[in-house]
Amino acid sequence: MNARTSNFANPKLPLIGRSADAQPGDAGDHWRSVFSGVWGPLNVRPVTDGNISGSLYSRKVGDLTFNRIEFGNQQFEKSHSRHSNEEPFFSLSFPESGAALCQIGERIEQLLPQNAYLLNNGMSAKLRVQKDYSTFNLKIPVSALEHRLGPNSGILSRAVVRPDAIFHMMKRLIFELLDTGDEADERTIGFMTNQMLETVAFFLTSGDSMSDDSIAVQAAQARVLAFIDAGFRDPGLTPLRIAEACRISRSYLYKIFADGPSVMERVRLRRLESARGMIMHGGGRRSMTEIAMASGFSSSSEFSRLFRKQYGVAPSRL
């Protein structure tokens, strides 16, 4: 594959910060401030003696944040608490030059060009860059993507080893969202974002080669997940209704989700993500029962039980 196949160079991202902006002896505080504005509180320090270098270009469109980043002689450390009010997020990274060492939980992986990586920043994370490293990066709320992929261990990687139709479709959708983000209304941005995230999930789970059968399965999964995303608030949602709406049989619906969370587990997870988001962002104005009903649960007791099981804490104590 040509080394520039995965290049996401785009002039529409405004400059947020760069090395030249830092005062002498103040590089650590400068970069801590620059990067915290995008990724929340984190610690930044040099890896070796010498100056920290880099630049950050960033732009928010809807719920997504697009970033072009250059690092040099920097180590980032981001802690995460289950009780933090910060919404957890994924970083979808496309390294373009150099290398970075990333640790999330117990998993350690070197981030290299010609690969894509989904990094779960809902967990404690470290990123270490000794020499120059550049990457295009998307910040994606966990609630927008996890129900499409299911839980992951912290780092999901996917090689881009040759011309890849799904990769180029994803890249085109990313550019279209950036190109139209300033003019489009909220509904249009939401539609384009959903289309892009379905393609991202398809790309990350498709592997390096796909048969016609696997493409058909992935396409059916994408239809189902899009339908769940639109209709999870309906407490009467059942596998039969989902299958009929997506024009597949109920047995085939079970088959295409046999290797991971079942279709109804995905519905429950989507409802829990919605409820958690409402609680964290203005939930004090609504009772737990109202939040449960608005998220598609049939009872507040069911909601409380499943919430505690998923997040380890009662919803009223979040």
Listed by start position, the domains of the chain span 15-163, 212-317
- The H-or-E segment that residue 137 falls in is strand 133-141
- What does pTM read for this prediction? 0.65
| pLDDT for 234 | 93
Strand partners, 135: 69, 95
- The H-or-E segment that residue 196 falls in is helix 186-205
Identify the CATH class of 15-163. Answer: mainly beta
Report residue 27: phi and psi, to 5°. -65, -40
Tokens 């920097």, located at residue: 74
Q: Residue 94's pLDDT band (boundaries 50, 70, 90)?
A: very high
Query: pLDDT tens digits, residue range 259-315?
Result: 878 999 999 988 998 888 888 776 567 889 999 999 999 999 999 999 998 888 888
CA angle in degrees (0–180, nearest 5) for 44-13-226: 95
Residue of 170, 122, 113 lying closest to 142 (CA atoms): 122
Query: pLDDT tens digits, residue range 140-184?
Result: 988 888 877 776 668 888 887 665 777 888 888 888 888 887 788
80 pLDDT more than 70? no
Q: Which fold has domain 212-317?
A: Arc Repressor Mutant, subunit A (1.10.10)
- 121, 167 Cβ separation under 8 angstroms: no
171, amino acid identity: K
Query: pLDDT tens digits, residue range 283-296?
Result: 567 889 999 999 99
- The H-or-E segment that residue 235 falls in is none
Strand partners, 120: 90
| pLDDT for 117 | 92
Same fold flag, 15-163 and 212-317: no
To the nearest 5 percent, what fractions of the chain are helix, strand and coil?
A: 45, 25, 35
Give the Cα separation of 318 and 301 in Å (integer). 16
Q: The tokens of 278 are what?
A: 């409402």
